[in-house]
Amino acid sequence: MWLLIYRYLSNIFFIPILVFFFLRLLFSKETISSIFQKFSILNNKRPKGNLIWINGVSIGEAKTGIAVAKEIQKIKPNSSILFSTSTLSAYDLLYKSKNNFVVIFFPIDINFLVKRFLRYWNPSSVIFIESEVWPNIFYILKEKLIKVTILNARMSKKSFTNWKRISFFSKSVFPLIDKCFTQNNDSSKRFKELGTKNVKKIQNLKYISEGLKVDHTSYKKLFKELKSKRVVTLFSSHQGEEKMFAEIYEVLSKKISNLFFIIIPRHTNRIKKIKELLKENKFSFILRREKKFQLTNKNFLLVDTFGELGIFFKLSEIAIVGGSFSNNGGHNPIETKDFNCSLIFGPHMENFEDIKSDIIKFNAGFEVKNSAQLVQMIFKLLKNKKLNQETNLNFKILCKSQSEKSKSILKSILK
């Protein structure tokens, strides 16, 4: 009954939701094209024959989804891939990846829009990456006898608690999932408790995500200016972490004169606040986008661009995982696997608990509890080149081993 009510209410709220998305357009969080596609106004041509729909909501899920899609193309070469996402940055990544996919924006979960979307694309099967659960889409797919699989599924404690609060509703939604392959044991328990029938824990598929690309022209220019510096990068940072990082620089720069810090915030709309923080502390910094870009006599580089993460990892001796010091669950440490920077993360890696355990077990990175320990660990790694190299080598071996296991598991699932 509650699912039926949700389906009708989603139609009623069409106009307010449309207004909301046009407000997002004003703040550059959407484009006209993204809104049209999200509201199932479609201009892409459907390929003939068998079509497999993969959805990866944001950049992290999209990267995993690309690896999954490439395995599907090997196993089922006569099938086409429809790849949907929800964010502009992930769409840009998919579009520029130049893979043989049809790339679109994910439809809003409004009953009549979903029907139109599925009537047009008519996929033979559907794969969702990680944590997307949409009642209308799942219900209509079940009506059409189209199988729904969630790969690398993750259910956070917060999401689980929210779904449990509306168990009168969730108990009619989660049984609609045909297969659920989770990345950790906690997620398995949570999906099962919410009513998903076919749940299995597998290797984390993030290990098979494609490596970050590096623009070698840009890298060479930056390397020329930074070759005498000891570079440490904080990536995907959240509020409070930049302040901690700045305070750490003040301590370490007294011991290491050629220290240089790079800050890559998770959300670039926070750049203004970070600039104010660095100015207050009288640090010399430069924005990546500045026209007269020159790093001479600077303490910090503040990155306000997209798609250059690989360059900064390649320049760094140490990479620090943002979100792991601010109770945001951490961000993907696997991003650094193709580079020679040692990994440090804080006490909050809840979103990557299994990967964190692997890293610690294989001496492939370091967990610190607070800023004082972070100061000590950065200093130790910069002074001990052998430790830095051994840690980084362990991380590469770990990622390669886990990647091979993940590919093997994925092939068995997709056959």
- DSSP class of residue 248 equals H
Supply the pLDDT for residue 132: 81
233-276 pLDDT, tens digit per residue, is 999 999 999 999 999 999 999 999 999 999 999 988 899 999 99
Is the confidence at residue 360, as pLDDT, over 80? Answer: yes
**Residue 413 falls inside a structural domain:** no
* CATH code: domain of residue 162: 3.40.50.11720
Residue finishing a domain among 171, 202, 233:
202
Q: Is residue 415 part of a domain?
A: no
Distances (CA, A) of 259 to 53, 264, 300, 301: 47, 17, 9, 12
Q: What's the whole-number average pLDDT of the chain?
A: 92
Do 192 and 257 share a structural domain? no
Give the confidence band of 290 by pLDDT, cuts at 50, 70, 90. Answer: confident
- What tokens appear for 239 in the block? 């509020």
Same domain, 151 and 264: no
- Evaluate whether residue 226 is within a structural domain: yes
pLDDT digit string (tens) for 375-404? 999 999 999 999 999 999 999 999 999 999
3 state SS of 280: helix
Q: How many domains does the chain have?
A: 2
CATH of the domain at 256: 3.40.50.2000
Cα-Cα-Cα-Cα dihedral sign, residues 344, 345, 347, 351: negative
pLDDT for the residue numbered 318: 97
What average pLDDT does this structure show over 91-110? 90
The reported pLDDT for the residue numbered 10 is 87
Q: Which residue has the higher pLDDT, 318 or 269?
A: 318
SS3 82: strand
Residues 157 and 250 in one domain: no
Query: Bigger pLDDT: 71 or 131?
Result: 71
Secondary structure (DSSP) of 4-70: HHHHHHHHHTHHHHHHHHHHHHHTTS--HHHHHHHTT---SPPPSS-EEEEE--SHHHHHHHHHHHH
Regarding whether 228 and 195 lie in a shared domain, the answer is: no
Mean pLDDT of 22-39: 92
| Measured distance CA(32)–CA(12) in Å, rounded | 23
Tell which phi-psi region holds residue 84, choosing left (phi > 0), alpha (psi between -120 and 50) or beta: beta
Q: Is 130 found in the same domain as 11?
A: yes
Q: Do 192 and 336 share a domain, yes or no?
A: no
pLDDT band at 363 (very low <50, low <70, confident <90, very high): very high
Same domain, 182 and 225: no
- Do residue 283 and residue 378 come from a single domain? yes
pLDDT for 233 equals: 97
If asked whether residues 303 and 383 sit together in one domain, one would say yes
Residue 145's region, left for phi above 0, alpha for psi from -120 to 50, else beta, is left
What's the Rg (C-alpha) of the chain?
Answer: 23
Shared domain check, 95 and 235 = no
In this structure, the answer to whether residues 229 and 191 fall within a common structural domain is: no
In a domain, 194, yes or no: yes
In a domain, 220, yes or no: yes
> At which of 179, 202, 225 does a domain end?
202
Kindly report the pTM of this predicted structure: 0.86
211 in a domain, yes or no? no
Q: What pLDDT does 296 receive? A: 78
pLDDT band at 332 (very low <50, low <70, confident <90, very high): very high
User: Would you say 59 and 94 are in contact if contact means Cβ atoms under 8 Å apart?
Assistant: no
- Look at residues 202, 224, 243 and tell me which one is the last residue of a structural domain: 202
- pLDDT for 222 equals 93
**Does residue 342 sit within a domain?**
yes
Residues 244 and 102 in one domain: no
| Mean pLDDT within 289-311 | 87
* Secondary structure element (H or E) that encloses residue 168, with its range: helix 167-170
Mean pLDDT of the region 18-24: 92
116 CB-near residues (< 8 Å, 6+ apart): 40
Domain presence at residue 192: yes
Query: Residue 160: what pLDDT?
Result: 94
Name the band, by pLDDT with cuts 50, 70 and 90, for residue 52: very high
Residue 128's domain comprises: 2-40+49-202
State the pLDDT at residue 294: 80
